[in-house]
Amino acid sequence: MQQMTRRADPAPSRWAYKVQRMWLTPSFRMGLRMGLPVMVVALAAATYLGNEQRRTDLFASIEAVKRDFQERPEFMVQMMAVDGANDKTLKTIQELMPASFPLSSFDLNLNDLRDEIRKIDAVKDVSLQIRSGGVLQVDVIERQPVALWRGPEGVEVIDEEGVRADKLDARIERPDLPLIVGDGANKNVTQALELIAAAAPIRERVRGVVRVSNRRWDLVLDRDQRILLPEKDAVRALERVIALEQAKELLTRDVTVVDMRLADRPTIRMTQVARKELLRVRGYEAED
Amino acid sequence: MIELYETQRAMRGLRKAALQRGVIAILDVGTSKIACLVLRFDRTDAFVEGEDIGSMAGQAGFRVVGAATTRSRGVRFGEIDAMAETERAIRTVVQAAQKMAGVRVDHVIATFSGARPRSYGLAGAVELDGQQVSEEDIGSVLASCDVPDYGAGREVLHAQPVNFALDHRSGLNDPRGQIGNTLSCDMHMLTVDASVIQNLAYCIKRCDLELAGVASSAYVSGTAALIEDEKELGAACIDMGGGTTGVSIFMRKHMIYADSVRMGGDHVTSDISMGLQVPMTTAERIKTFHGGVYATGMDDRELIDLDGDSGDWEHDRRTVSRTELIGIMRPRVEEILEEVRARLDAAGFDHMPSQQIVLTGGGSQIPGLDGLASKILGQQVRLGRPLRVHGLPQAATGPGFASAVGLCCFAAHPQDEWWDFDMPVERYPARSLQRAMKWFKDNW
């Protein structure tokens, strides 16, 4: 019997061949494996978000979930505890708080808040911490006022670095602090304090110290008396004057200026009345 | 000549690109089968400057990752006869090889056995203006070879320098850097019918592949089947294919002659078919299972059933003894070998210092062929198998794959061809310059 069935052609058709070659192309496979899913997801997302209403709803729900999480009780700050601040500083700090308690710790930016508090005059340093139990712990280190400085902006309380700690309306508000005056006086508070300390025997007569031409000091007493101190060894010069006062009652006499600027030639200036009187005693008659 | 130079250079560029990419396909378009191997090249950085290698070698670390064969269709005498059929066969085999390799191949190097190859020996000489031989001197001596008139419709397939001579010293492999006055060279040129190459190129293009090189099957099977000593001392490789039998002679590692006999295993099969009145497929089966060229007394008693389905009981139940089969096969095999002998004599093979003959190709598997061949061709005959290639499947290691394996070596270690050297500038056509001159003459 003759077999009439034709055997199938083993050759692939042109299209089968091309398709197989296409499948063996690495870029095509990569595109299908990665590019296609990415495109489908992107298309779906774009279609869903194309609607304005759905977009706002989505963002609102995301925001709500975020809020819910942030406002859990373990993240809430109930109160603030301030240590090391006096009443005036405490009031200022409370005014600086961004919102009223209770508020979420996610809404508190401790860095910004710390910088804000540091800007207060009376505060030298501050550390903030959210303690367990929802307490915002504020540890304040205040500036220690050591002197008053009468500067271009009025009377200021300064600490020993010369930084302003407070402002005063009148000097009489803090009679316990010594007064320093003059250009650059607030940069050399330590020297002024040394002078004040050295002048302890005549304390009740001291009105203040004056920085002259940002170089040397004058000690000002009542009755318009002035002790001009040298640039170097000012404390020793002052001690010499005080020793003279204790021995010869120099400052109690009718002197306006004790000039100690030249250590080997101390000079005093007397009042007009005292000068006439001295001349008269020595036998001269005043010309007029 | 310039056109040829340019096309061969373009193919060389494609080959380089394919090696850069790392994947190239080998296509052996034979008369009885089409084989495709997919090669993956790696270790492309292992290029050693100054070694005795061609300009593209060093990229030798290749591995066969895909192999496929299919029954050839539409090919006769190693030439494409029915183009659509051949295209389908190429598609089949390329698809199977790609599937096995798992990569897509774009570049293919092809070989074919037919197209009436013809060898020419060319000689050229140049005077050296400098003292030392430079790369340009090689190019110019190759270009100075006077090309014979090889006829219209022919195409140069290989043009390999086989010998260089410097003054009176001959037999130089690489004269570069040596000192002399006259540099002369011998070149072996192989031409084939241009239409065959065009058909092949068209078929390959129809399969969406790019032809990155063409080689003669006789040449590449010689490179695969001959061992180094034989290539060096002189040997002939007889590639007994289906439709043609290729002959190539190697000497000092260069092919110096190639030809093909337009007879092969298919003719043996058709003789059996006609002699025994059986279909071609049955004849092919009988030939491969029971074929031989030496009859012994034992063969008289070995009867072969000739199956048939004509419906005639007498016709379908015939038997034939193996002696009869051998009696049919032997004259044709002898004829082929006689023809090969004639080609070898024409090439002056009997003047070679070593006359080793290596039989390869699918037809060389006939039992007893080496004995018969030694009677006709000479004493030193052996059967050759292709050399072992990394990753080649066991099924593709037989002598029938000599040309496919040789093509792998051709892709990995190409021998220097004429177009591998830069053409000297003055050899380029002066046509554009002449046209400019003509324009000036016409207009001024």
Interface of B with A in 78-107 (CB under 8 A): 88-89, 91-92, 94-95, 98-99, 102-104
Interface check for B309 against chain A (CB to CB < 8 A): the answer is yes
Binary contact (B103, A2; C-beta < 8 A): no
Selected for mutation to probe chain A from B40, B71, B88, B309 (highest A CB count within 10 Å) is B88
Q: Is the model's pLDDT at A274 over the cut of 80?
A: yes
- Whole-number mean pLDDT of chain A? 81
Binary contact (A25, B104; C-beta < 8 A): yes
Q: What is the pLDDT of residues B40-94, one digit of tens each?
A: 887 554 444 444 444 444 445 788 899 999 999 889 888 888 998 999 999 999 9
Binary contact (A12, B92; C-beta < 8 A): yes
The rounded percent of chain B whose pLDDT value lies above 90 is 35
Segment B234-256 shows an average pLDDT of 91
The pLDDT value recorded for residue B237 is 93
Selected for mutation to probe chain A from B104, B107, B281 (highest A CB count within 10 Å) is B104
Q: Is the model's pLDDT at B101 over the cut of 50?
A: yes
Sorting pLDDT into bands at 50, 70 and 90, what band is B372?
very high
Domains of chain B: 1-116+193-226+387-444 (3.30.420.40), 118-192 (3.30.1490), 265-327 (3.30.420.40)
Binary contact (A24, B95; C-beta < 8 A): no
ipTM reported for the complex, 2 dp = 0.72
The pLDDT value recorded for residue B354 is 87
Q: What is the 3-state secondary structure (H, E, C) of chain B?
A: CHHHHHHHHHHHHHHHHHHHHCEEEEEEECCCEEEEEEEEECCCCCCCCCCCCCCCCCCCCEEEEEEEEEECCCEECCEECCHHHHHHHHHHHHHHHHHHHCCCCCEEEEEECCCCCEEEEEEEEEECCCCECCHHHHHHHHHCCCCCCCCCCEEEEEEEEEEEEECCEEEECCCCCCECCEEEEEEEEEEEEHHHHHHHHHHHHHCCCEEEEEEEHHHHHHHHHCCHHHHHHCEEEEEECCCCEEEEEEECCEEEEEEEECCCHHHHHHHHHHHHCCCHHHHHHHHHHHCCCCCCHHHHHCEEEECCCCCCHHHHCEEEEHHHHHHHHHHHHHHHHHHHHHHHHHHCHHHCCCCEEEEECHHHHCCCHHHHHHHHHCCCEEECCCCCCCCCCHHHCCHHHHHHHHHHHHHHCCCCCHHHCCCCHHHCCCHHHHHHHHHHHHHC
The pLDDT value recorded for residue B89 is 92
Segment A45-58 shows an average pLDDT of 90
Which of A73-77, B33-37, B154-158 comes out lowest in average pLDDT? A73-77
The shortest C-alpha distance from B319 to chain A (Å) reads: 20
More confident residue, A268 or A185: A268
* A contacts of B102 (beta carbons < 8 Å): 24
Segment A181-188 shows an average pLDDT of 76
More confident residue, A287 or B190: B190
Segment A108-128 shows an average pLDDT of 81
Binary contact (A11, B89; C-beta < 8 A): yes
The pLDDT value recorded for residue B167 is 85
Sorting pLDDT into bands at 50, 70 and 90, what band is A5?
low
Interface check for B205 against chain A (CB to CB < 8 A): the answer is no
Q: Is the model's pLDDT at A261 over the cut of 80?
A: yes
Domains of chain A: 73-142 (3.10.20.310), 147-282 (3.40.50.11690)
Interface check for B157 against chain A (CB to CB < 8 A): the answer is no
The shortest C-alpha distance from B101 to chain A (Å) reads: 10
